[in-house]
Structure 1
């Protein structure tokens, strides 16, 4: 009571302090930015990221944006000039490396060509060879689709943000007739961050509005609608402000911040609301407030600590965004109870006495159902245990069937521009997935093992997986060397009777190199780094393939290349995106085990019993096994939104256990029997948490509107885990508490509902 009385006396001071701190953090919070670099998604020690960075250092940034359209007679002079004009517009976009732009006009009508090269370009054989080399890069298999390949400047060197560059490219493509499609890994990454940023705020506000409506229906009082929403928004403000002051940035994973803070805040405030409302039937407003906070201050501390432990366990992850997400969510979960203490005293006690939460519609029906549920749970513990064991086995078997989603395009809705563009490139241009295999070679051009490179190139072109999947394009330095036509002999070389007849000879290696630099000036520097002694072969593959197929293809390419060059390694954005989820999943087992151990210790200390700590894990781990195992049985692959669901959910669902056990313990200490205490806990914590779950499930339903598919999965799975945790606690804990006695409670012969009714 002393704690509650002090809060009541200091309510104005606490509100003013909250307002001042919020004003101080407003400006830093507004400067918190989303780190949109591909590197932000990986651990700095990730081997695939290191390979990508090495390639970037050796051959320049390979962030290509592809713009393609279909037209008739694309090799005619008229169409080639139209293509040149379109390409020039795209090259002028800030952030594009204009000198590296490739298109069919520049290949067939090379303006840099002089002398012998210009003559060679007029030959039909040369044109056919150039078209064949450009197939699936600058021209489609159908001969009617042309593509402009734009190479982006490194983000550090670009005069504008990457997002602005891609936005302008799309605007130019949208104005083009016929319709042009924009694709490439940088576009997918841009869209991912754009949707994440939009959803984080737009859907956050929409879900808050929906939650306000649901809470208003429940309690029919505006004050009790505004208070939880205010706590959510101030928590987000403080979290973002503190993160900015510490120099951290939001990452793709951080998009879940708003949703998870909402879960924690609604569950906490809903419990306070129900307890306070029940006490108001017997006490004055001040007394009800003091008793409420005296009863809940310790459980609130343990709720925040266990939630923070669940998130802090993710610090073991090697991925930088997961670690930053762990810190921000641990911080946010600790701020929620603090802000409840700072805001609720004034929020509850200031103003008219009549502003109390009302009884929700249908509460009597819900109370009756909870009573029946508690009776059934106490009367049928063995049935519940048997069903639990069976469901656990089924869930565990489902875990063995889990697959990882590596088709990055499946992170977007089929109606989105990026998916439509990918489908266009898959059917017309042999895909938009560009990657490479690189290896060490001599630093002298004349010493390069061209025959070995040709053999490797042939093997890669012939590579086929059992299902027929292969590479749609393979480009090696030898393709440019072999493209050079035979050179006409000079007059001094032509002798004899037939000296007037033009004759040709094979070009020497240096001559081939010189002519290749005229025909394809970007080819050598993009494939061979003479100073570092590194070479690469550029590959293209279909994007929309099953996870196991893409992983097998990457592995097969590496193994094939290593037969010729033992140090060969595959890299590129295509490879990075394929292994993205694997990098997020890598440390999840460790973090899940650590979070479980941490929560076990907290529950053991909080209730001074190892047995209570152990049984508290059962109703929280079971829903996770069922949810994730169900994904395996249904064939739903793990994506970005579901990769961390286990560690996150156990930290959220254990809150229900703490509040339930607190209500049960309080009832037993007041003299209730086991059955009476179960009824009390079901009517108190059970009622509050049921209402909170209804509100949260309705609020999370707004995530179904997200353009970013992992957010949809995340909303659904968190709702299922929360509901599963609630049902696990309401069904499993009564039976488990029948066999495990809490410390400080008297031993008793547990009564059954029938015995209670008889008495």
Structure 2
């Protein structure tokens, strides 16, 4: 402490201008990379660390030449769709969308092949297939042809033919995958330790190039989506139109987060300013905390820009949290300064400032360290964005502490505040009501805390991780409305792929299917046909069984597979299923220009794989992704006899589910590490097992209350609420440390526990109350966000502050009085 005091006496307090000028240079350097600060809502930002599902997802897309990089425009005309007039307007809309430069192609009822010709057979399919674009087809005939086709209903056309869709394909350039593969290969070499210095430099170069390319690609996507929306606005007078698709959801999520960071960031700041002005009624006590908070956020944003460290959906709230922590530190300093100022009104402002810093640096340092431990525990999560969030907050809290104890004294040295006559150490503030209640109703405090603990345990037992992605968005948003229409009328939202790999042939098996008496094309032979083809009677029957099972599940909407194609070919064949010979020659019979529609997305002869494309109904109230995936795998292995290693479940549904299912394990690790580390910190700080255990009690109640409340309200853990427990502990720890440290200081004066409690409630209790009131008021504005996780964040942060304050002003002093952990002075 002497060295720290000497540092303040020699450098900071005598030379505040030099400190601020040097700091201004640092701020300027940070600002140079503000333009590099970016948000990331890509698939990579929502998957587990080392989760291979993302690579499997990309592999499936490459093998079957499919992609989820498309927009979906739902179109429900106010009049009958299948009329010449309405089809003409629909074609006009499609043509304008198709003309956008970034659009590779579009699919709609206008360009898909129709099956209405009476002369259509397997032999004439190449010449008799017609489309609304290229042929004169009566609207009623086209309508019936589309509804009779097994591929289009509930996909491109609703079953009542009242709603249709345009699939706007946005192909990802090959350059993206080239850079991605180069980066991943170099990463693997570096992680395994086989990379030399040149390869490490090459990784840095490729990584930077990949970041620049993805940013440019993202801007191009945003411009394309904006262009699509502008086109759609010109047609909304004739139809109800919604926009959906993964690129649009990603774009809108980033836009929501950017709005929350800017609009709501300014709103929170405005609320904080108003609350500080009402509480302290001096412009200095508004300006100084405001500058400290702003500079902390400024430096962190600049650092993230320099480090090319993107902010994800999960870590986007780091700005709000840094405001909380920095504001908490400055308010504690302000309250303590005002107390010293009132006790010694004739003292020099420089002396008061120095005494404030020396009195508060120790508890604030302890507070910062324990809060860093709380957020650092997030690095034990298996989810990359949660890990990044933990590191961001660890660094941010370090910056907040340094900022408070460097900039706060420099500013006050230049702007010494006058004595505020409203400050009185002997008046009874609002917080003293908690002291009187704790003194006279100590038993009630303990019993009430016990009841809350029991309710927390029950609530925790009800906590789940299953939720629908649609629940992240308000009903008024286009994402929510589009998902509802797509789920209800166009076959479902979330993609899921089931891929089955053919069983390899043993080396001693004859490749000739006719070498035995059993014909595998028409019979269910004991010895499976091992020819390198899927187009046999036995295999197609098995794939049909898989298709029928997947289609029967209540959670699934549209299911497409080779079975859909065979149903279509059977329809062309006059309603008769294909016989053995016709089945064997399906690849040759299907015209080349239709193979990318009917065969390639579902069968890969080269990789010996068959794919089932499924759309999951996100609006289903009882959707349980993990249970669905387990039932699919169990049925295929036990009922249909496939080996487990031959079955692969892929797609956004799987990746999102993997992230959700890790939350319970991650939450247990996080909570366990947090409380274990904080208990150790308390033992080091207080040097008393009894006092450390006392300090843990309000933290356990606060964290348990938030998670328990989520369980009681049926709000599941998700990619945002996973951080609530660590945030709650970090906030509760602040109050606990400050209160115990102040109690120990005040108790040394007279050794009276009750009198000490009342003095603490009038002093440090005020700072805790002001901090909580300011933060709860500021974060209440987040309920206006369009992003539901941000709303939850604001509400639960406020509730966490309230529970932490309540525990620190009632349960904590009651346990101190009951156990008497301090030695008599």
Instruction: Please give the range of the TM-score, normalised by the shorter of the 2 chains.
Output: 0.7 to 0.9
Which residue of the other structure, out of 451, 456, 469, is the alignment partner of 2:554?
469
Equivalent position of 2:651 in the other structure: 572
Measured in 2, the distance between the counterparts of 1:78 and 1:371 equals 76
Residue 342 of structure 1 corresponds to 406
Within the alignment, does 1:733 sit opposite 2:809 as a pair?
Answer: no
Q: CA deviation at 1:332?
A: 0.8
Counterpart pick for 1:174 among 216, 228, 233: 233
Q: Is the 8 A contact 1:700 1:719 kept in 2?
A: yes
Residue of structure 2 aligned with 1:154, choices 142, 147, 172: 172
Unaligned runs of 5+ in 2: 132-136, 178-213, 505-530, 574-578
Task: Indicate the residue corresponding to 2:50 in structure 1.
Answer: 45
Cα distance, 1:405 vs structure 2: 4.3
Change (3 A) 1:25 1:505: closer
- List gaps (5 residues or longer) in structure 1: 489-503, 748-759
Corresponding residue SS for 1:69: strand
| C-alpha distance in 2 between matches for 1:32 and 1:448 | 53
What is the count of residue pairs matched by the alignment?
A: 722
Q: Deviations over 1:633-672 (max 9, x none)?
A: 2323333332221122102220111111111111122334
Query: In the aligned structure 1, how far is the partner of 2:712 from the partner of 2:340?
Result: 46
Residues 243 and 470 (structure 1), Cα distance of their counterparts in 2 relative to 1, 3 Å cut? closer
Structure 2 residue aligned with 1:526, among 581, 590, 601?
601
Mapped contact 1:603–1:613 kept (Cα < 8 A):
yes
3-state SS, counterpart of residue 700 of structure 1: helix
Q: How does 1:543-562 map to 2 (within 5 A)?
A: 543-546=618-621, 548-562=623-637
For residue 164 of structure 1, the aligned residue among 205, 219, 223 is: 223
TM-aligned CA deviation for residue 544 of structure 1: 0.6
Q: Note the C-alpha offset of 1:550.
A: 4.2
Match of 1:420 among 477, 481, 487: 481
- Between the aligned partners of 1:194 and 1:454, the Cα distance in structure 2 is 47
How many Å apart are 1:610 and its aligned residue?
Answer: 2.4
| Map 1:542-691 → 2, pairs under 5 A | 542-546=617-621, 548-562=623-637, 563-566=640-643, 567-691=646-770
Pick from 119, 123, 131 the counterpart of residue 149 of structure 2.
Answer: 131
Aligned partner of 1:54 in structure 2 is 59
Residues 413-468 of structure 1 show CA distances to partners (whole Å, capped at 9, x for unaligned) of: 11111111122223322333332211213797634456444444455445588xx8
Distance 2:493 2:735 in 1: 47
Q: Deviations over 1:598-645 (max 9, x none)?
A: 112222212222222221111111022122212212323333332221
Tell me if 1:478 matches 2:478: no
Residue equivalent to 1:14: 19
- Is the Cα–Cα contact under 8 Å of residues 270 and 691 in structure 1 kept in the other structure? yes
Specify the alignment match of 2:341 in structure 1. 280
Q: Is the 8 A contact 1:461 1:471 kept in 2?
A: no
Tell me the distance in 2 between the aligned counterparts of 1:547 and 1:56.
Answer: 29
Deviation at 1:67? 1.1
1:543/1:736 Cα in 2 relative to 1: closer, same or farther (>3 Å)?
same
Matched with 2:194 is none
SS at match of 1:437: strand
For 1:418 and 1:288, how far apart are their aligned partners in 2?
56
- In structure 1, how many angstroms separate the alpha carbons of the residues matched to 2:427 and 2:632? 60
Which residue in 1 is equivalent to 2:28?
23
Q: 2:282 aligns with which of 221, 228, 231?
A: 221
Tell me if structure 2 keeps the 8 A contact 1:3–1:293. no
Check if 1:515 corresponds to 2:515: no
Q: CA–CA distance in 1 between the matches of 2:90 and 2:425?
A: 72
Would you say the 8 A contact 1:185–1:433 is kept in 2?
Answer: no
| Separation in structure 1 between the aligned mates of residue 807 and residue 793 of structure 2, nearest angstrom | 20
Deviation at 1:33, TM superposition (A): 0.9
Q: Is the 8 A contact 2:109 2:164 kept in 1?
A: yes
Q: Deviations over 1:516-551 (max 9, x none)?
A: 543453332322333322221111232112354444
Quickly say closer, same or farther: Cα 1:139–1:664, change in 2 above 3 A.
same
Q: More deviation in 238-247 or 694-703?
A: 238-247
Structure 1 match to 2:533: 446
Tell whether 2:248 aligns with 1:187. Answer: yes
| 2:537–2:580 Cα contact (<8 Å) kept | no
- Evaluate the alpha carbon distance shift between residue 559 and residue 581 of structure 1 in structure 2; reply closer, same or farther with a 3 A threshold: same
Structure 2 CA distance for aligned equivalents of residues 226 and 369 of structure 1: 25
1:357 shift after superposition: 5.7
**Alpha-carbon displacement from aligned partner over 1:394-425 (angstroms, at most 9, x marks no partner):** 11011111123421111111111111112222
CA distance in 2, matches of 1:93, 1:700: 41
CA distance in 1, matches of 2:261, 2:610: 42
What's 2:395 paired with?
A: 331
1:499 aligns to what?
Answer: none
Deviation at 1:582, TM superposition (A): 3.0
Determine helix, strand or coil for the equivalent of 2:649. strand
Cα deviations across residues 698-718 of structure 1 (Å, max 9, x unaligned)? 100110111101111111111
CA distance in 2, matches of 1:699, 1:402: 28
Quick one: structure 1 residues 487 and 647, their matched pair in 2 at CA, closer, same or farther if it must change by over 3 Å?
closer
Equivalent position of 1:376 in the other structure: 437
Match of 1:291 among 355, 365, 368: 355
User: SS of 1:439's equivalent?
Assistant: strand
Alpha-carbon deviations, 1:310-367, whole Å to 9, x = none? 111111111110111111111111111200122112211214x55456748xx99993
Work out whether 1:65 is the aligned partner of 2:71. Answer: yes
- Cα distance 1:145–1:642, how it changes in 2: closer, same or farther (>3 A)? same
User: Is the 1:313–1:595 Cα contact (8 Å) retained in structure 2?
Assistant: yes
Q: 1:28·1:241 contact (CA, 8 Å) conserved in 2?
A: yes
Moved more, 639-648 or 719-728: 639-648
Is residue 18–residue 342 contact of structure 1 (8 Å, CA) maintained in 2? no
Taking structure 1 as reference, are residues 367 and 171 closer, same or farther at Cα in structure 2, changes over 3 Å only? farther
Higher alpha-carbon deviation: 594-603 or 630-639: 630-639
CA contact (8 A) 1:269 1:340 kept: yes
Structure 1 counterpart SS, 2:500: strand
Instruction: Give the conservation status (yes or no) of the 8 Å contact 1:517–1:523.
Output: no
Q: The residue matched to 1:104 in structure 2 has which SS? A: coil
Contact residue 64 and residue 152 of structure 1 kept, 8 A = yes
With over 3 angstroms needed to count, the CA separation of the structure-2 counterparts of 1:575 and 1:505, relative to structure 1, is closer
List per-residue Cα deviations over 1:725-747 (Å, max 9, x = no partner): 1110111122222244556x427
SS in 1 for 2:600: helix
Query: Quick check: 697-706 or 608-617, which moved more?
Result: 608-617
In the other structure, the counterpart of 1:251 is 312
Aligned partner of 1:317 in structure 2 is 381
The alpha-carbon distance between structure 1 residues 738 and 257, as it changes in their structure 2 partners (threshold 3 A), is same
Over 3 Å counting, the alpha-carbon distance change for 1:440 and 1:660 in structure 2 is same
Asked whether the equivalents of residues 8 and 286 of structure 1 are also in contact (C-alpha less than 8 Å), the reply is: yes
Q: What's the CA shift for 1:379? A: 4.3
Q: 1-side partners of 2:274 and 2:719: how far apart? A: 30
Supply the distance in 2 between the matched residues of 1:512 and 1:485 (Cα, whole angstroms).
14
Do the aligned residues in 1 keep the contact of 2:464 with 2:716 (CA within 8 Å)? yes
Residue 258 of structure 2 corresponds to 197
Partner SS, residue 438 of structure 1 = strand
Give the Cα separation in 2 of the matches to 1:560 and 1:452.
17
- CA change 1:625–1:709 in 2 (3 A) is same
Instruction: State the match for 1:90 in structure 2.
Output: 97
Q: Distance in 1 between matches of 2:452 and 2:675?
A: 20
